[in-house]
Structure 1
Amino acid sequence: MQTGQQNSATSHVGNDEYADGPRLLADIGGTNARFALEPGPNRIEAIKTLPAADYQEFTDAVLAYLQQAGHPPVRHAVVAIANPVQGDQIKMTNHDWAFSIEAARQLLGFDTLLLVNDFTALSMAVPQLKPSDLLQVGGGQAAVGSPIGLVGAGTGLGVGGLVYGGGRWLPLASEGGHVSFSPANPREAAILAYGWRTYEHLSAERLVSGPGLELIHQALLDIEGLPAEELKAEQIVERGLQQGDLHCKETVDIFCSMLGTVAANLAVTLGALGGIYIGGGVVLHLGDYFERSPFRARFENKGRMTALTKKIPTFVITADYPAFIGVSAILGEKLRDKRDA
């Protein structure tokens, strides 16, 4: 297993580095904004989840959390966000928050406000995860020091990677969820054709996500000439896995197969012999069914590259709040680099 090898620099962090107060950690998605305080190394406390829709601005959510946490003397903060981070301006893809990082830092009164892509953060968590934080699905064994890939389906589809060099793990920024969806059989091609009625470009994210479950289900009903039925992702999973609804069950299976395609494409693109790690809330919501789903069979079915993908292990990340582990490592490295400059 890859974890525990060539551990990140956070293992050398001392309490003296936190003498200027607790650090604020955040994980912002299209639906929820999660916050925590880190008063010392490997101590993540005061975790709270706020509905993003309840706050007009990003800074409103931060201030609300800090008020609830008792106004801790935060000077340094790091935020994982489900969005590209390129320059100072942030405009969220799956939510309506738009802001300047520097203006937000000044308003909040922080010395440091660092924003990173959420899958960059999740990537940086992987080397620190324990075996108990992971569930391996299928066979394969990680090659030490080889590239690692990450995928995760939630409100959107996150994609990331890690390569090892210069004595540390380096995250690969990616918006791989927006690659074009690639069907693997006629049923999926029909779903693609259905999606094209609405979207000129049908990305992998449109189908391999929580909203994607809903779109797949709508497509299946339409393909079979059945009346439309508006179901939420949670209802589809419950009806498919608990109530024996055949169309909902097929929706879940197709979703898992499509995720297998995305994961395998990432594996062969990166040469991810270090493994593929799966995050996001949708797979966790599927519970132990995911192990029995078509995911791994599709992952291994890669034509001339099947022998390669069979060797690559796939892990579901089961740790609570893994993004916090990643952003802590990223902020720690930035502050140490700044101090040592």
Structure 2
Amino acid sequence: MNGEMLSNNPRKSCNAGPRLLADIGGTNARFALETHSHEFTAIAVLPCNAYPDLQSAITAYLSSPEVLVVCQSPVKNAAIAIANPVDGDVVRMTNHHWTFSIEALRLAAGFDNLVVVNDFTALAMALPHLAAHERVQIGSGQPQANRAIGLIGPGTGLGVSGIIPAGAHWVPLSSEGGHVSFSPSNEIEIEILRQVWKEYPHVSAERLISGMGLELMYRILAQMDKHADTTEMNAADITRRALDGSCNVCTRTVDYFCAMLGTIAGNLAVTLGATGGVYIGGGIVPRLGEFFAQSNFRQRFEAKGRFADYLAQIPTYLITAEYPAFLGVSAILNERLSLSDIVA
């Protein structure tokens, strides 16, 4: 099943004690225990480089004093969101050296049930569970009930997903929408595209709307501005200097980044018919704060010609929850355990 895998032993109980939830990225592994519905405790962030494999990180977390205080018996149910495609039993991380078999990990950790899903699949499933204070609306629009919801998020790459209503449930989409072809919207963006074409025969949205995209776009804009400092900068420095106003090229770079994201988010909205709203996640945009709210993101989101009025009715939200993936993997685990009970 593309995007998610369940490993379980249906002969054993599915409802025993706290559940382990994890959000695994290329740099950090975030863990929590879910003691009651959407109640997370013993949250810990462990550096991936400190452990030889995922099992070692899980063992270290479960043996920590904070976890042992909560757990009076071994954890039996677990769900993991990982920044990686999940297709089959073996997961090989593309941005870290960890490789593991889902079933072997379940057995080694002593879990009755283990769900492993792509991180954006988990984030998509978190959307219906976000509280009002865990999101900020950008622009106008009102969500329609029981309609598709879109999700997009630039970080190391460009994650794209969504959820489709199916009766009382939501079905998450496993998408590689970040790799659609980049579409420029003005003369400067056309020139940026021409310059990127010199290095890459296919320019995806992710190539420019991501951390690496910020760095690439900064280099191109600096070269176009003959008076600019052409010293290469990383994405963190570019965003920092854009926010404090100390670098004009950095400001322009982040301006174009926000506008381009608006165009791609609008494309996602019309593709899915996402009248339930479009959410922005990932590691970059939440750090931009008011800069993003005042950017051309929303204007470009709606700039779809004859469909401008259609887009104007669709709300866009910035996810501000600190650990939204926990909500998503919890919801997915609930559904899988319910299904296992029915099958058993």
Judge same fold: TM > 0.5, yes or no: yes
For this pair of structures, how many residues does the alignment match?
325
Is 1:38 matched up with 2:34? yes
**Offset of residue 92 of structure 1:** 2.3
Structure 1 residues 215 and 129, CA, compared in 2 at 3 Å: closer, same or farther?
same
Q: For 1:27, which of 19, 23, 30 is the aligned residue?
A: 23
Contact 1:123 1:326 in 2 (8 A): yes
Structure 1 residues 222 and 99, CA, compared in 2 at 3 Å: closer, same or farther?
farther
Alignment of 1:108-187 (within 5 A): 108-187=109-188
Deviation per CA, 1:104-133, whole angstroms, max 9, x where unpaired?
222222222211111111111111112121
Unaligned runs of 5+ in 1: 1-16
Question: Matched residues in 1 for 2:332 and 2:26: separation?
Answer: 22
Structure 1 residues 326 and 196, CA, compared in 2 at 3 Å: closer, same or farther?
same
What amino acid sits opposite 1:86 in the alignment? Answer: D
Alignment of 1:320-335 (within 5 A): 320-335=322-337
**Offset of residue 25 of structure 1:** 0.4
SS of structure 1 residue aligned to 2:63 = helix
Question: Matched residues in 1 for 2:31 and 2:198: separation?
Answer: 39
**Offset of residue 324 of structure 1:** 0.3
Structure 1 residues 197 and 97, CA, compared in 2 at 3 Å: closer, same or farther?
farther
SS of structure 1 residue aligned to 2:52 = coil
Question: Matched residues in 2 for 1:67 and 1:188: separation?
Answer: 52
Moved more, 156-165 or 245-254: 156-165
What's the TM-score, normalizing by structure 2?
0.89
Deviation per CA, 1:242-284, whole angstroms, max 9, x where unpaired?
1331100001101101110110010010011111011112111
Question: Matched residues in 2 for 1:315 and 1:265: separation?
Answer: 16
Report the identity percentage. Answer: 54
What's the TM-score, normalizing by structure 1?
0.90
**Offset of residue 78 of structure 1:** 0.7
What amino acid sits opposite 1:55 in the alignment? Answer: Y
Is 1:48 matched up with 2:44? yes
Contact 2:14 2:112 in 1 (8 A): no
**Offset of residue 96 of structure 1:** 3.0
**Offset of residue 176 of structure 1:** 1.1
Residue equivalent to 1:3: none
Question: Matched residues in 1 for 2:188 and 2:50: separation?
Answer: 39
What amino acid sits opposite 1:242 in the alignment? Answer: D
Structure 1 residues 53 and 195, CA, compared in 2 at 3 Å: closer, same or farther?
farther
SS of structure 1 residue aligned to 2:284 = helix
Is 1:294 matched up with 2:296? yes
Contact 1:139 1:312 in 2 (8 A): yes
What amino acid sits opposite 1:233 in the alignment? Answer: A
The runs of at least 4 aligned residues of structure 1 exceeding 6 Å deviation read none
Structure 1 residues 57 and 228, CA, compared in 2 at 3 Å: closer, same or farther?
farther
**Offset of residue 18 of structure 1:** 7.6
Contact 1:94 1:156 in 2 (8 A): no
Question: Matched residues in 1 for 2:290 and 2:200: separation?
Answer: 33
Deviation per CA, 1:150-187, whole angstroms, max 9, x where unpaired?
01112221111111112211111112112222222222
SS of structure 2 residue aligned to 1:49 = strand
Question: Matched residues in 1 for 2:115 and 2:109: separation?
Answer: 13
Residue equivalent to 1:265: 267
Question: Matched residues in 2 for 1:323 and 1:131: separation?
Answer: 16
Structure 1 residues 95 and 184, CA, compared in 2 at 3 Å: closer, same or farther?
farther
Is 1:242 matched up with 2:244? yes
Unaligned runs of 5+ in 2: 1-12
Question: Matched residues in 1 for 2:311 and 2:67: separation?
Answer: 50
Contact 2:14 2:113 in 1 (8 A): no
Question: Matched residues in 2 for 1:249 and 1:197: separation?
Answer: 24
**Offset of residue 227 of structure 1:** 5.4
Residue equivalent to 1:57: 53
Alignment of 1:178-327 (within 5 A): 178-225=179-226, 228-327=230-329
**Offset of residue 145 of structure 1:** 1.0
Question: Matched residues in 2 for 1:24 and 1:190: separation?
Answer: 49
**Offset of residue 19 of structure 1:** 5.2
Structure 1 residues 146 and 19, CA, compared in 2 at 3 Å: closer, same or farther?
closer
Alignment of 1:82-97 (within 5 A): 82-97=83-98
Question: Matched residues in 2 for 1:246 and 1:227: separation?
Answer: 10
Question: Matched residues in 1 for 2:304 and 2:192: separation?
Answer: 21
Moved more, 247-256 or 73-82: 73-82
Contact 1:18 1:40 in 2 (8 A): no
Moved more, 193-202 or 73-82: 193-202
Question: Matched residues in 2 for 1:189 and 1:58: separation?
Answer: 43
Residue equivalent to 1:11: none
Question: Matched residues in 2 for 1:167 and 1:35: separation?
Answer: 29
**Offset of residue 230 of structure 1:** 2.2
Question: Matched residues in 2 for 1:56 and 1:259: separation?
Answer: 36
